[in-house]
A and B are shown apart, each in its own frame.
Chain A
Amino acid sequence: MIAQKYIVIIVCVVAAGVIIWREVQRPNKAYLACRILAVLVAIIALACIILPLSYTGTVNPNEQHEAILLTEGFSPDSLKNYATNRVFAVNRASQKAYPKASLISGAGELSRMKSAINHVHLFGYGLSKPELDELKDVTITFHPAVVPEGIQSVSWNEKLKSGEKLTVQGHLNNPEKNNLKLTLKGLGTTLDSAFLNTSGTFNLTSRPKQVGRSVYRLIVTNEKDTLANESVPFEVNTTKPLQVLILASAPDFENKFLKNWLSENQYGVAVRNQISKNKYSQEFANVSQRSLQHIASSVLSKFDVVVSDLEVMKSLPSSEAVAIKEQVQQGGLGLIVRADSTTQSNNWIQQRFPLTRTSSQGQMITALKLQDQVAPTSKLLIDPFFINYHNYTQPLVTDQQNHAVASASLAGAGKIIFTTLTNTHNWMLGGDEDDYTALWSLLITKAAKNIPAQNQVTIKSAIPQINRPVELQVQASSGTPTLIKVNQTSLPAAEQPSLPFTANVTYWPKKAGWQQVEVGNNVSWWYAYPANEWQNLVKQQLLNETRLYAANHPQKQSVTKQIQQKVQIAVPKIYFYLVLLAALIWLWVEAKFLNQ
Chain B
Amino acid sequence: MANQQGIEKIKQIRQRWVSYQLTADALLCAAIALLAGALLHAASINWVWCILIFAVIFSIVILLRKPWATSLNTVSLYLDQTYPELEESATLALQPAEELNLLQALQQHKVVSTLQHIPGTPAGFTNRLKRAALFLAAALVLSFILLKIPIHSQQGIFGGGNPAKENEKNLPPEKILPQISNTEVTITPPAYTGKKSYQQDRFTLNVEEGASVSWLITTNTAVDHLTLIFNEREKIDMQPAGDHQHWQAQKVLSAAGFYQVELDGKLSDLYAIQIIKDTPPVIHIKAPKQYTHIDAGEKPQVTIQAAINDDYGVGNAYIAATVAKGRGEGVKFKEYKIDFSENFGGHNKQYDLKKLVSLPAFNMEPGDELYFFIQAQDTHKLTSRTDVYIVSIQDTAQLLSMDGIVSGVNLKPEFFRSERQIIIDSQKLLHDRDSISKEEFNRRSNELGTDQKLLRLRYGKFLGEEDESNMDEDKSGGQLGKAENFGNTAMVMDAYTDKHDNAEDATFLEPTAKAQLKATLTEMWRAELHLRMYKPEEALPFEFKALRLLKDLQQKSRSYVAKTGYNPPPLKMEKRLSGELDKIAEPVAKEDIKKTDDQFATLKKAVIILEQYKTTPVLSPADKHTLQLAGQEIGRRASSQPGIYLPALTALKQLTTSNKISTAKVDAIEKALQRMLPVQKQLPSSSANAANPLSQQYFKTLSRLNK
Contacts and interface: CB of A to CB of B under 8 A. Distances in A.
Interface in A259-280: 263-267, 275-280
A277 B590 CA distance: 23
Interface string A484-519: 000000000000000101000000000011100000
Contacts of B589: 281-284
Interface of A: 161-165, 186-189, 207-215, 239-240, 242, 263-267, 275-286, 289, 304-305, 326, 329-330, 412-413, 434, 437-438, 440-441, 443-445, 448-453, 456, 475-478, 499, 501, 512-514
B46 to A, nearest CB: 41
A503 to B, nearest CB: 12
A239 B684 contact: yes
29 contacts: A162-B680, A164-B682, A187-B670, A188-B667, A188-B674, A209-B678, A215-B615, A267-B683, A267-B684, A279-B581, A279-B584, A280-B586, A281-B587, A281-B589, A282-B586, A282-B589, A283-B590, A283-B591, A284-B589, A284-B591, A285-B590, A285-B593, A304-B686, A329-B706, A445-B685, A445-B686, A448-B685, A450-B687, A513-B616
B586 A451 contact: no
B691 A452 contact: yes
B691 to A, nearest CB: 4
A277 B699 contact: no
Contacts of A263: 591, 593
Contacts of A305: 684
Interface in B525-582: 577, 581
Tier of interface size on chain B: 35 or more
A286 B687 contact: no
B609 to A, nearest CB: 9
A499 B694 CA distance: 9
A123 to B, nearest CB: 37
A477 B679 CA distance: 35
A266 B595 contact: yes
A513 B615 contact: yes
A448 B674 contact: no
Interface string B662-680: 0000111111011101111
B691 A187 contact: no
A20 B299 CA distance: 144
A437 B684 CA distance: 9
B134 interface: no
B614 interface: yes
A451 B688 contact: yes
B648 to A, nearest CB: 9
Interface in B602-623: 604, 607-608, 611-612, 614-616
Nearest to A215: B611
- Enumerate the 10 nearest inter-chain pairs by beta-carbon distance, A residue then B residue, closest first: A188-B667, A188-B671, A444-B684, A452-B691, A163-B682, A448-B686, A450-B689, A209-B677, A212-B608, A187-B670
Interface centre among B608, B668, B682, B703 (most CB of A within 10 A): B682
Contacts of A189: 670-671, 674-675
A456 B692 CA distance: 11
Given A286-B591, A456-B688, 10 more contacts: A207-B682, A209-B604, A283-B589, A326-B703, A412-B702, A441-B681, A452-B689, A453-B690, A477-B692, A501-B694
B487 interface: no
A522 B146 CA distance: 69
Query: Chain B contact residues: over half helix, strand or loop, or mixed?
Result: mixed
Contact of A434 (B587, B616, B681): B681
A211 B584 contact: no
Nearest to B689: A450
A207 B681 CA distance: 9
Contacts of B346: none
B688 A276 contact: no
A444 B687 CA distance: 11
B131 to A, nearest CB: 47
A187 B674 contact: yes
Contact of B682 (A161, A278, A330): A161
Nearest to B672: A188
Nearest to B615: A513
Nearest to B601: A211
A27 to B, nearest CB: 69
A512 B616 CA distance: 10
A326 B684 CA distance: 24
A501 B678 CA distance: 42
B685 A240 contact: yes
Contacts of A242: 684-686
Nearest to A285: B591
A250 B633 CA distance: 48
Nearest to B594: A266
B684 A451 contact: no
A282 B684 contact: no
Nearest to B678: A209
A443 B682 CA distance: 12
A12 to B, nearest CB: 57
Contacts of B703: 326, 329-330, 412
Contacts of A212: 604, 607-608, 611
B157 interface: no
Contacts of B693: 478, 501
Nearest to A263: B593
Interface centre among B590, B612, B670, B683 (most CB of A within 10 A): B683
A326 B671 CA distance: 51
A456 B674 CA distance: 31
Contacts of B431: none
B700 interface: yes
Contacts of A276: 577, 581, 584
B684 A188 contact: no
Given A276-B584, A440-B684, A412 B699 contact: yes
A281 B587 CA distance: 5
A213 B608 contact: yes
B694 A210 contact: no
B681 A215 contact: no
A466 to B, nearest CB: 12
B615 A278 contact: no
B356 interface: no
A267 B595 CA distance: 10
A441 B584 contact: no
B581 A453 contact: no
A85 B677 CA distance: 65
B583 to A, nearest CB: 11
A188 B581 contact: no
Given A209-B680, A266-B595, A512-B615, A475 B584 contact: no
B99 interface: no
Contacts of B680: 162-163, 207-209
